[in-house]
Structure 1
Amino acid sequence: MNETVLYEKAGAVARVTMNRPRVHNAQSRVLLEGLDEAFAEAMADHDVRAVVLFGAGPHWSSGHDIGTPEELADRDARPYRPGADGHHQRSWDWNVENTMRWRDLPKPTLAAVHGMCIYGGWMIASAMDLIVAADNAQFLPFLFQYQSTPWDIGARRAKDIMWEQGLLTAEDAHRLGFVSQVCTPADLDEVAMAKAHRIAALNPLLAQMIKRQVNDAQDAMGFRTAIAAGHSAYMIANLGHAFFDAENPFGSRKKMPGIDEARERAERTK
Structure 2
Amino acid sequence: MSQNVRLEKVGPVAHLVLDRPAKHNALRFDDLDHLVELLHAAEEDDDVRVIVLRGTGPSFCAGHDYDDAVRSYGLEPGPDGQRPRRPSQRARLLQDRRLGEGYMAFHYSLKPVIAQVHGVCTGAGLYLVELVDLAIAADTAHFSHAEQRLGLAGNTWHLNTQILKYGPKRARELLLLGDAFDGKQAAEWGLVNRSVPESELADTVADWAERIAAHPRDALVTGKAMWHLALDSLGGSQQFARGYVGHTLGTNLRLEADEFNFLKERQRRGTRGSFSDRDDHYSG
TM range (shorter): 0.7 to 0.9
> How is 1:67-82 mapped onto 2 (pairs within 5 angstroms)?
67-68=67-68, 72=71, 82=87
Q: Which residue of 2 aligns with 1:14?
A: 14
Find the aligned partners of 1:177 and 1:257 in 2 and give their Cα distance: 32
Q: Return the offset for 1:213.
A: 2.4
**Structure 1, residues 55-89: CA drift from partner, whole Å, max 9, x if none?**
111111111112159x949x99xxxx932221221
The higher radius of gyration belongs to 2
Q: Which residue of 1 aligns with 2:94?
A: 89
Change (3 A) 1:8 1:253: farther
Change (3 A) 1:99 1:208: same
Q: Which residue of 1 aligns with 2:132?
A: 128
Find the aligned partners of 1:215 and 1:85 in 2 and give their Cα distance: 30
CA RMSD between the two structures: 3.1
- Which runs of 5 or more residues in structure 2 are unaligned? 77-85, 148-153, 257-262
Contact 1:112 1:188 in 2 (8 A): yes
Find the aligned partners of 2:223 and 2:276 in 1 and give their Cα distance: 39
Q: Return the offset for 1:232.
A: 3.0
Contact 1:5 1:18 in 2 (8 A): yes
Q: Return the offset for 1:195.
A: 0.6
Give the TM-score normalised by the residue count of structure 2.
0.79
Contact 1:4 1:30 in 2 (8 A): no
Change (3 A) 1:204 1:112: same
Asked if 1:205 corresponds to 2:218, the answer is yes
Find the aligned partners of 1:45 and 1:29 in 2 and give their Cα distance: 25
Q: Which residue of 2 aligns with 1:249?
A: none
1:67 is paired with a residue of what secondary structure? helix
Q: Return the offset for 1:134.
A: 0.7
Asked if 1:60 corresponds to 2:60, the answer is yes
> How is 1:31-70 mapped onto 2 (pairs within 5 angstroms)?
31-68=31-68
Q: Which residue of 2 aligns with 1:107?
A: 111
Contact 2:129 2:191 in 1 (8 A): no
Asked if 1:195 corresponds to 2:227, the answer is no
2:155 is paired with a residue of what secondary structure? coil
**Structure 1, residues 173-201: CA drift from partner, whole Å, max 9, x if none?**
11121101111111111111211111111
2:66 is paired with a residue of what secondary structure? coil
2:136 is paired with a residue of what secondary structure? strand
Q: Alignment identity in percent?
A: 26
Change (3 A) 1:183 1:262: farther
Contact 1:144 1:231 in 2 (8 A): no
Asked if 1:146 corresponds to 2:146, the answer is no
Give the alignment partner of residue 117 of structure 1, picking from 99, 121, 124.
121
Q: Return the offset for 1:31.
A: 1.0
Q: Which residue of 2 aligns with 1:246?
A: none
Contact 1:103 1:127 in 2 (8 A): yes
What amino acid sits opposite 2:94 in the alignment? Q
Change (3 A) 1:230 1:30: closer
Find the aligned partners of 1:59 and 1:237 in 2 and give their Cα distance: 27
**Structure 1, residues 14-63: CA drift from partner, whole Å, max 9, x if none?**
11110111111111022112211211221121111011011111111111
Find the aligned partners of 1:262 and 1:39 in 2 and give their Cα distance: 37
Change (3 A) 1:263 1:196: farther
Give the alignment partner of residue 218 of structure 1, picking from 231, 238, 246.
231
Find the aligned partners of 1:61 and 1:224 in 2 and give their Cα distance: 24
Change (3 A) 1:263 1:211: farther
1:223 is paired with a residue of what secondary structure? coil
- Which runs of 5 or more residues in structure 1 are unaligned? 244-251
Contact 1:120 1:144 in 2 (8 A): no
Bigger mean CA offset, 47-56 vs 120-129: 120-129
Total equivalences in the alignment = 254
Give the TM-score normalised by the residue count of structure 1.
0.83
Find the aligned partners of 2:278 and 2:265 in 1 and give their Cα distance: 19
Find the aligned partners of 1:153 and 1:122 in 2 and give their Cα distance: 14
2:6 is paired with a residue of what secondary structure? strand
Contact 1:133 1:179 in 2 (8 A): yes
